[in-house]
Amino acid sequence: GRYNLRKRRKTTHDNLVDRISYLPHEILVTILSLLPLKEAASTSILSRQWQYLWTSTMNLNFDDEDTLCRTAKPPGGEAQELANLRYVNWVNSVVEQHRGPKVEQFRVSFHLDNRSSSSIDKWIRFAMKKGVQMLDIDFLEYGFHQSYTLFPHQVFGFKQGSAWRPFCFEVPNLDPCMYTGFKSLKDLRFKNVDIAEEVLQYFLSNCPVLERLSVYNSRYVSRLRVVGTSIALKYLGIWECFMMESIEIRDANLVSFTYAGHTMINLLIRNVPRLVDVSICEPNNLFFEVVFAQLSYCLSQLETLNLTYNV
C-alpha cells in the first residue's frame, strides 16, 4: 500500500530494507509468474536487478481485456485493425524478450485472422520449445460466419503450402525433424479455432501427458477417436463443433466426457472403465432413447450423467 509505505518512511526510515530483492531468483520468478503479465512487466522499472526478471515469467496469459472492451464490435473497422496490430506486437515482443527456460501457461485470446498466421506460428513454436503445460488459444468470434480458419499446421511439419481450409481434409505428411514435441502439455484448449481433425488426433497420440482437451466452435472437425490405453486423456469436452459426426472412445483412460452441440452424433463408448462423468447436450426428439442406447456399455459405472435437450 502506497499510503502505509509513505507513513513508514517518515517514521521508520532506517528500517526500510528491501528484503524481496534478496530472495533467490527462482522464488522471485515464481512470484512474478503469479502476477498478470502487464503487472509483472511493470516491475522492470524497479531497479537494474528487476529490469529483466519478469522476462522469465512462466505464465504468459495474453488476455487483453482493456483493448477487447474498447473494440468490442463490429469487426473489420480501422480501430479493430489497429487493436489487432497492437495485440500481435505485444505478444511478439514478450515472446522475443522471454529469457526463462520454461513456460507453464501460454494463452492468447483475441480476434486474430489469417494475416497474423506467421506470428501465431511463431508463438506455438515458442510454447512448444519452452515445454508448455497449458496451451489455450481463443480467436474469439462475432458469429459463426466470421470465425476464422487458422491453425499453424506447419508447426507440426504438416504439408507445406496447403491452404488452411482444404488442409483440414488432407492426409498429414509429417516431418519428424520439425517437430520437437509437446512433451509436457497437459491441458489443451481451442476456442473458435478451425483446427484440422488430423492435428487434434496428432495431439492426442503424441502428447504423452495430455490430460485435458477442450474444443469449442471448431468448424471442420467431424470425427474424433480416443482409442487405446496409450492415450493419456482424462477429460474431453467438445462444444458447438457443427460438423461433428462421430466420437469414438474405446479402451481409454477417460474419466469425464462432455459433448454439447446442435447435431446428433454417433457416439461409441466401449471399455472405458474409469469413465464416471458424462454430459451430453443435443437436439433430437429421440434424444433420450438414442443416448441411452449409445451409453449402454458404461451406464452402470457412471456417477453423474447430465442430459440436456438442446432446442
Ligand X SMILES: *[C@@H]1O[C@H](CO)[C@@H](O)[C@H](O)[C@H]1NC(C)=O
Shortest distance (Å) from residue 7 CB to ligand X: 49
Site for ligand X in 58-117 (CB under 6 A): 114-115
Instruction: Based on the shown chain and the rule CB under 6 A, indicate whether residue 263 belongs to the binding site for ligand X.
Output: no
Q: Find the binder of ligand X among 279, 287, 290, 297 (CB under 6 A).
A: 279
Using the minimum distance from each CB to ligand X, give the nearer residue, 243 or 260. 260
Shortest distance (Å) from residue 287 CB to ligand X: 12
Q: For 18-99, where are the alpha helices, taking DSSP H only?
A: 25-33, 37-42, 65-70, 78-97
**Are residues 112 and 88 in contact, defined by beta-carbon separation less than 8 angstroms?**
yes
Shortest distance (Å) from residue 93 CB to ligand X: 22
Q: Residue 239: count other Cβ atoms within 10 Å of its Cβ.
A: 16
Instruction: Based on the shown chain and the rule CB under 6 A, indicate whether residue 160 belongs to the binding site for ligand X.
Output: no
- Identify the helix (H) or strand (E) that includes residue 62: strand 59-63
Using the minimum distance from each CB to ligand X, give the nearer residue, 114 or 296. 114
Alpha carbon 103 to its chain centroid, in Å, reads 13
Instruction: Based on the shown chain and the rule CB under 6 A, indicate whether residue 308 belongs to the binding site for ligand X.
Output: yes
- Identify the helix (H) or strand (E) that includes residue 267: strand 266-270
Using the minimum distance from each CB to ligand X, give the nearer residue, 43 or 214. 214
Using the minimum distance from each CB to ligand X, give the nearer residue, 73 or 115. 115
Shortest distance (Å) from residue 47 CB to ligand X: 44
What is the phi/psi pair of residue 100, to 5°? -65, 160
Sheet holding 187-191, edge to edge: 59-63, 105-109, 134-138, 187-191, 212-216, 235-239, 256-260, 277-282, 304-309
Q: Find the binder of ligand X among 260, 268, 290, 305 (CB under 6 A).
A: 260
Instruction: Based on the shown chain and the rule CB under 6 A, indicate whether residue 271 belongs to the binding site for ligand X.
Output: no
From the list 49, 39, 113, 44, the residue with the least C-alpha distance to 76 is 113
Using the minimum distance from each CB to ligand X, give the nearer residue, 1 or 143. 143
Using the minimum distance from each CB to ligand X, give the nearer residue, 102 or 115. 115
Strand partners, 256: 235, 277
Instruction: Based on the shown chain and the rule CB under 6 A, indicate whether residue 49 belongs to the binding site for ligand X.
Output: no
Radius of gyration, CA atoms only, the chain: 23
Using the minimum distance from each CB to ligand X, give the nearer residue, 205 or 258. 258
Instruction: Based on the shown chain and the rule CB under 6 A, indicate whether residue 281 belongs to the binding site for ligand X.
Output: yes
CA–CA dist 63, 171 (Å, integer): 34
Q: Where along the sequence are the contacts to ligand X (CB under 6 A)?
A: 114-115, 260, 279, 281, 306, 308
